[in-house]
Structure 1
Amino acid sequence: MTHSSSPTTGLLFALVSASLYGFNIVYARIASFAGASGSAIVVYRVFLMLVLVGIVAAVMRGSLKAAREERGTLILLGVATAFVGICYLSSVAYIPVTVAAVVFYTFPILIVLASPFVEGTKLTPSLLGVVAVATLGVALVVGPAFGDLDWRGLALAFGASIATAIQFFAAARCRRTGVMAKTFWIHVLVLPTAALISLAAGQLAPPSSLAAAPFAVTMTIGGYVFGFVLQFLALGRITAVAAGIIYCTEPVVAAIASALILDEVLSPLQMAGGALVLGAIMANVVLEQRRPKGAPLVPIAD
């Protein structure tokens, strides 16, 4: 695969992945209405991911061996992935979900600001402008009303944002280890973490509890599984900066899906926010296509 075609494929993978995550959130909410615990779904979907990867690896005789030089990066990636879920899930115990979402989606800004130090990316006015527009769009879509907010919730949501930025950078540098092996070892680290959180919250229900909303649970787990695989296929083809901006579509898709599936009405302000995010994504695609064809996707560290 050439460098010229790889970024385009990566952008498409990232866009589909973000959309699946957006739908995943909506169906997780439907499942919760039926009594299926969200934390239990997390545990069982991670367990299912491990089983599926094991089956696919056995059938295809694929290797689950991590590249020796990337094992440290994989550990960082697994820990960061676990912290994304831990911090984001915990933040909503102290602040409204919409506020947590806005704070969480500051991670594209963090990626751009850190990219000169991590990837050697040059910060251009056009790139900074795209990030600013995308972030504003996300804020308009989720439309929170800020009031008296608990600092613990804000700190946890911002912690999830930092962990996500680390996740994107680590995944973009983990290119020699196959997606199958990468997915397996990440979830080996995530599973015990998710299980401990569920036990501590008293919500680790038996698998039979998921039968309360079979379709919604299936859509939630399916959206996560396919979205996760596509996310790491994308991060092997595009920069963390480009991926961070593309993933701003997730809350937009969630808002639209909520309106269509849950009959939640979108306000004109939310529609305007969605238009800003989509405009920023199109601008980012143009900037990505202008990147020199011979330039590496991620500079190799000395």
Structure 2
Amino acid sequence: MKADRAPIPVFIPLFIGIIAISFSSIFVKWSDSPVSVQAMYRLMITAIMMLPFAGKYAGDARSLKRSEWGLLALSAAMLALHFLLWMGSLQWTSVASSTIILALQPVFVMIGAYLWFKERTSLGALFGMSIAFLGVFLLIGSSGFGGQEGHFKGDLMSLLGTAAVAVHMLLGQLLLRRLPSFLYSWLVFVMASLILAVYNQIQGYSFTGYSGREWGIFLLLAIVPTVFGHLLFNWLMKFASASTVSMSVLGEPVGASVLAFLILHETMYPLQAAGGALVLLGLILFLRVGASPKRPKEFEQKGAA
């Protein structure tokens, strides 16, 4: 149990956070800008919002070794790749399919932790993971049965983007052993936005000239799913167990699917729905038994949508 008592019932900010991260894919779908530009400004605006609080960590930043800067750069590159793949997947597949696959993030982290840190997990977690991946195969395979053109490409991009963010989080697990979580997040956001800026320059994408509507979407991406989503979950960790907050990963595909149905008029085909149900069932089993007890609490609940 937590020593601190939340000033309001925990379920209220948890519900707000789930709704907030569920809007991430909706904002991406609304935008007409290249996804790499959306991702760049989302991270850049978030980093600017965090800047007034970053000064007190200057000493920690100066004490970083060259190898640690290298790991930070690699972590940022994986975060940038995640945004390119996952946000790009929404151009090809449905919100429901993309976010359900993204919810496999804890499973990918567990696999990486086993290969990298030799962390063990239970048979129950492995059983849940197997069910979840069976659902993913059904989801991706359903692209030939009434799915939209390019559905397979979009689902595969979401799967690869999920693997990329898992590598980002595992690198963070190493760095958080000596870095404050705020400083780590801020440095990674800054570096990832710079990586995306270089990518956009190479691709010839404009940095300016976007409509007021597009700038509004960039701002919404920074504020809603980041501040009222992931940062709110970080705050909740002071009052609720990691397992409770971790279950929010199941809320995003459900919330995003409902929002996509109401706002974008998207629907799911029967095989897609069956695959999605299997993924969520597998994740419930996986999260309930506790897959990675050694993982720092900062990474037991974070998502990167």
TM norm structure 1: 0.67
Match in the other structure for 1:65? 60
Q: Is contact 1:65–1:177 with CA below 8 Å preserved after alignment?
A: yes
Q: Deviation digits for residues 231-270 of structure 1, max 9, x if unmatched?
A: 777999969xx96x86465444322220122222344555
- How high is the TM-score relative to the length of structure 2? 0.66
For the structure 1 residues 192 and 31, does the alpha-carbon distance in structure 2 shift closer, same or farther, using more than 3 Å as the test?
Answer: same
1:202 aligns with 2:199: no
Once structures 1 and 2 are overlaid, which stretch shifts more, 187-196 or 230-239?
230-239
Aligned match of 2:26: 26
Alignment of 1:8-23 (within 5 A): 20-23=20-23
Answer yes or no: is 1:223 the counterpart of 2:224: yes
Aligned residue for 2:266, secondary structure, equals: coil
The more displaced of 175-184 and 80-89 is: 80-89
Tell me how far 1:38 sits from its aligned partner.
Answer: 3.5
1:162 corresponds in structure 2 to: 163
Q: Alignment partner for residue 48 of structure 1, among 32, 36, 45?
A: 45
Structure 1: 5+ residue runs without aligned partners?
Answer: 6-11
Percent of residue pairs bearing the same amino acid type:
18
Q: 1:231, 1:213 → 2: CA distance?
A: 27
Residue 180 of structure 1 is matched in structure 2 by 182
Whether the 8 Å CA contact 1:105–1:248 is kept in 2: the answer is yes
Superposition map of 1:197-276 within 5 A:
197-206=199-208, 209-213=210-214, 216-226=217-227, 227-229=229-231, 247=249, 249-267=251-269, 269-276=271-278
Q: 2:114 is matched with which residue: 105, 113, 116?
A: 116
- State the match for 2:288 in structure 1: 286
Change (3 A) 1:21 1:197: farther
Task: Give the number of aligned pairs.
Answer: 280
Relative to 1, partners in 2 of residues 1:14 and 1:184: Cα closer, same or farther, differing over 3 Å?
A: farther
What whole-Å deviation, never above 9, does each CA across 1:140-193 have from its counterpart, x for those lacking one? 667851499899989866653432221121223333322321122102211222
CA change 1:127–1:296 in 2 (3 A) is: closer
Superposed CA deviations along residues 95-124 of structure 1, whole A, max 9, x for unmatched, are x33599487776555433333232332243
- The whole-number CA distance in structure 1 between the counterparts of 2:281 and 2:190 is 38
Give me the whole-angstrom Cα distance separating, in 1, the residues matched to 2:35 and 2:286: 34
What SS does the corresponding residue of 2:49 show, helix, strand or coil?
helix
Amino acid at match of 1:65: D
Of 260-269 and 176-185, more deviation after overlay is shown by 260-269
Does structure 2 conserve the Cα–Cα contact (< 8 Å) formed by 1:15 and 1:247?
A: no
Query: Does 2:72 align with 1:97?
Result: no
Displacement of 1:23 after TM fit? 1.4
- Shift of residue 71 of structure 1? 4.4
**Could you tell me how far apart the structure 2 residues matched to 1:51 and 1:197 are?**
20
Distance 1:267 1:177 in 2: 45
Letter in 2 for 1:133: I
Give the corresponding residue for 2:8. none
Aligned letter for 1:263? Answer: H
CA–CA distance in 2 between the matches of 1:283 and 1:155?
A: 24
Q: Report the CA distance between 1:82 and its aligned residue.
A: 2.0
How big is the shift at 1:42?
2.1
Structure 1 CA distance for aligned equivalents of residues 280 and 295 of structure 2:
23
Distance (whole Å) between structure 1 residues aligned to residue 74 and residue 234 of structure 2: 15
Residues 89 and 25 of structure 1, relative CA distance in 2, 3 Å threshold: closer
* 1:24 Cα deviation after fit: 0.8
Amino acid at match of 1:22: S
Map 1:123-134 onto structure 2 (within 5 A). 123-134=121-132
Which residue number corresponds to residue 8 of structure 1? none
Instruction: Give the alignment partner of residue 193 of structure 2, picking from 191, 194, 199.
Output: 191
2:41 partner letter: Y
C-alpha spacing 1:115/1:44, structure 2 compared with 1 (3 Å): closer
C-alpha change, 1:78 and 1:198, in structure 2 (3 Å) is: same
RMSD of aligned residue pairs (Cα, Å): 4.8
* CA deviation after TM superposition for structure 1 residue 15, in Å: 9.0
Q: For residue 65 of structure 1, give the secondary structure of its aligned residue in structure 2.
A: helix
The yes-or-no answer on 1:75 pairing with 2:73 is: yes
Separation in structure 2 between the aligned mates of residue 224 and residue 163 of structure 1, nearest angstrom: 19
C-alpha distance in 1, partners of 2:30/2:182?
30
